[in-house]
Structure 1
């Protein structure tokens, strides 16, 4: 994972990987291919039974409990607009 993984749509960029326990892994990627984390893990024989994404597109969950939501701040909205070119 740290060296990139060959997938059917090409090799991934290297990921930052950290083992958190016998069945837990923290993985940081910088691409956003379809189901990339699951496919990378499958390619090296690691089953994925649960996936938690604490950060996405510059937005962070922070202490937000599972199943809860909050409105985006004006800054977060601007960040997303800048990233998508929809100012």
Structure 2
């Protein structure tokens, strides 16, 4: 099976009217455009308030503690089993 590939638009850096690679200032302009677009996207983000941030952080912390305990118990059981087998 072959996937239908859509044509990829070439970057500005690869093509110039005279066929040469762009110089330093053209690259700087591309970087500036990237920063401007990134800032515009960050303004669109719906940032959580302090209450949401705290509650999700506590959920993550609780999950980490539970998983640490679970892995510790599994490790203790398996190490005891290995000691029993090897002795």
User: TM-score normalised to the size of structure 1?
Assistant: 0.20
Q: Which is greater in Rg?
A: 2
Greater helix share, 1 or 2? 2
User: TM-score normalised to the size of structure 2?
Assistant: 0.20
With a CA cutoff of 8 Å and minimum separation of 6, indicate the structure with the bigger relative contact order. Answer: 1
Greater strand share, 1 or 2? 1
